[in-house]
Amino acid sequence: MIRGYSHQGFSHLVFCLIVSYIAFGSNLVSAAEWAPAAVKVLVAYHSQSGNTERMAEAVVEGAKSLAGTIVVLKRVGQVTADDLFSSDAIIIGSPVYWSNMSGEVKTFFDNWQFKFGVFPEFKMKNKIGAAFATGGQISSGKEVTMLTILAAMLGNQMIVVSGGGAFGASATTEGDSPGLDKKELADAQALGRRVAEVAAMLKPTPSN
C-alpha cells in the first residue's frame, strides 16, 4: 500500500509539472528575460557664463554611469511638458543671482503651473528631485539657491535627494577658485549618479 501510494503521488507530481509547463512555460521564459524599464532623468539648467552648463554636463555624465539610464539635458527655457512629465527624476541647476536662484530658473518653476498645469493634480508628485548651483564666492548663496530649488520641488510633493554635498553639488567660480575644478565636477557626477540610483530603486516595476 505504501509503495502504491508513493507511485500514485509521484505520478500526480509529474502530471502537475507537465500541466504547469504547458500552461505557464512561455511566461516563465519571459520572466527570466525581463528587465526593469529604463529610468529617465531630466537635467535642466540656466547658465550665463557657461559654468553652470559645465556642471550640468558633469551631472549628466554621472547619471549615465548607471546602466539603462536615459538622460535629457536642456536649458530651462527649452523644457517641454513632455520632458517634465515623462521623467522619473529632475535635477535643476542655477547660478547664484543675489543669493538666490536666477530669474530664469524661478520662471521655469512658475511655468510648472502657468504653462504646464501641474496643480491641482500634483503631476510631479513622487518624482525624484535634486539641485546644483554655481556661485562666484565661497559664501555667495549657493546653499540658499539649492534650498530654494528643493523647496519648490517639495511644494510639488516630489522626493528630494542630495549628493555631492549636503544639499546638492556646488562650485565656486571666481576669486581664488576660477572656473570648475576636478573635485567640483566629481561632486556633480556623484549627484547625477545618486539621483539615477534612487530613481531606479523607487521606479514601479511593470506588472504582467
Helix (H, G, I), strand (E, B) or coil at 39: strand
185 inside domain: yes
Residues 23, 103: one domain? no
What are the backbone angles phi and psi of residue 27, rounded to the nearest 5°?
Answer: -70, -35
The domain containing residue 108 runs over which residues? Answer: 39-202
Looking at per-residue pLDDT, the higher value among 139 and 208 belongs to: 139
Helix (H, G, I), strand (E, B) or coil at 128: strand
Residues 91, 11: one domain? no
How high is the pLDDT of residue 140? 86
Residues 8, 64: one domain? no
Residue 7, pLDDT above cutoff 60? no
pLDDT single digits (tens) 15-64: 444 434 433 343 433 333 435 458 999 999 999 999 999 999 999 999 99
Model confidence band, residue 175 (pLDDT cutoffs 50, 70, 90): confident
How high is the pLDDT of residue 8? 52
207 inside domain: no
135 inside domain: yes
Looking at per-residue pLDDT, the higher value among 10 and 174 belongs to: 174
Cβ contact 12:20 at 8 Å: no
Residue 4, pLDDT above cutoff 70? no
Q: What CATH number corresponds to the domain at position 128?
A: 3.40.50.360
Strands (E), the chain: 39-45, 69-75, 89-95, 128-135, 159-160, 169-172
30 inside domain: yes
Cell of 186: 566629481
Domain count, the chain: 2
How high is the pLDDT of residue 46? 98
State whether the Cα torsion 11-15-16-21 is positive or negative.
Answer: positive
Global pTM exceeds 0.85: no
Residues 24, 100: one domain? no
- Residues of the chain with pLDDT > 90: what percent? 73
Residues 55, 140: one domain? yes
Residues 29, 43: one domain? no
Residues 24, 50: one domain? no
54 inside domain: yes
Residues 49, 137: one domain? yes
